[in-house]
Amino acid sequence: MQSSFNVNEYWLQRGRNYLHENLPQEFHRLQETFLIDVLRSSGIPLASILEVGCGFGRITRLLASSFQDTKITALDLSPEQLENAKRYCGQQSNISFQQYDLYSGKPFPGAGYDIMVAIEVFLHHPRPVVLGLFRRLAAVTGHLINIDWSEDWPWKTAEHVWVHDYSALYLEAGLQCATFVLPEKVDGKQQKLFIAAKHLSPGIRKLEQETAESLAQYLRANPETDTKTHPVPDVANWPAQLDLAVQEIREKLPVGSAFILVNEDQWGNESRALSDYKVFPFLEHNGRYWGPPANDADALSELQRLRRLGANYIVFAWSSFWWLEQYRGLHQQLRSDCDVLLENQRVKIFRLPPIACA
């Protein structure tokens, strides 16, 4: 992990266009059901919730619809994501959205919250920052609740990922912690839900024990589930697959050639491995990624413009395969007019036809 990596800069940039998560919908449904079940069974009052890192509002809307009398304050660094979350949550009247920088040291808005919720947020911040956040959050909320990975991954993590031992972190922050294991894994990686507070009630401890016993009984009766993972291809192992994707691009495209890269600007500094190519983002504006096309017509127009600028190939990264469903006209034209150089779980590479001379 490079000490020079700027977390805020990364998420401000990614937040401009981050509207599609790569984990499967069935896992998100399991994760969401598990969260709501634990909250309802915990005995914790739920009059007010502080959500940290709300993103485009997936969990925000879930909380607002599940607890309609609860006042929710949802925070995020990215102004674009806050606007996305407002649209995604629609007419939910029990949500207040606010921009907040976790690194600012400024007081959190409000106090006296019953719970703080953060789903897959703290893994994007280094350990000292998370420890400080736990201490500060404990001053404004009764219980801290997060879902995340808490075991070392068997491959290198991306530069914006830190895998923490949350039980140890909460203990160091002076908080008691209960751990709830989600019943299924994602690509062999286990998520856990953590509840932390200055003092945990006997009811939460009992729920922790009952949940663990129930899971153990289920696994004994269904031993295949212990290794069951949701059907995410190896691309869930982001860093390793990114290395392979870059290698495959280099094998298929001549060094120095110009190509369009459809990856929603999610490859970060790994793109330096392609510095000896001319790489166009899609959409492109002044050399920078400018967000997804509004419609098929815009996608096709941009494709032609970049071809005129010299692009000879177009490469889709796995995280943007959904574009080929969203922009069906673009997909049909690529299939009818272009040679497919490579198509696997990581990349789809098309050779663009030459521009016809006038």
97-125 tens-digit pLDDT: 999 999 999 999 999 999 999 999 998 89
| Cβ atoms 182, 148 nearer than 8 A | no
Assess whether pLDDT exceeds 80 at residue 60: yes
C-alpha 6/C-alpha 16 separation (Å) is 16
Residue 8 backbone zone (phi > 0: left; psi -120 to 50: alpha; other: beta):
alpha
**Region 64-93 average pLDDT:** 92
Taking all residues of the chain, what is their mean pLDDT, rounded to a whole number?
Answer: 86
pTM greater than 0.75 (yes/no): no
CA atoms within 13 A on the CB side of 175: 27
C-alpha 298/C-alpha 313 separation (Å) is 18
Assess whether pLDDT exceeds 70 at residue 54: yes
pLDDT of residue 118: 97
Residue 331 CA from chain centroid, whole number: 25
Greater pLDDT, 69 or 29: 69
Residue 200 CA from chain centroid, whole number: 30
Among 52, 50, 58, 51, residue whose Cα is nearest residue 19? 58
Q: Which CATH superfamily is domain 7-230 in?
A: Vaccinia Virus protein VP39 (3.40.50.150)
C-alpha 83/C-alpha 90 separation (Å) is 11
In the chain, % of residues over pLDDT 70: 85
Assess whether pLDDT exceeds 50 at residue 1: no
230-278 tens-digit pLDDT: 444 444 466 778 888 999 999 999 999 999 999 877 776 556 778 899 9
Domain boundaries, the chain: 7-230, 234-351
Query: Which backbone phi and psi does 60 adopt, to 5 degrees?
Result: -55, -50
8-22 tens-digit pLDDT: 777 776 666 555 555
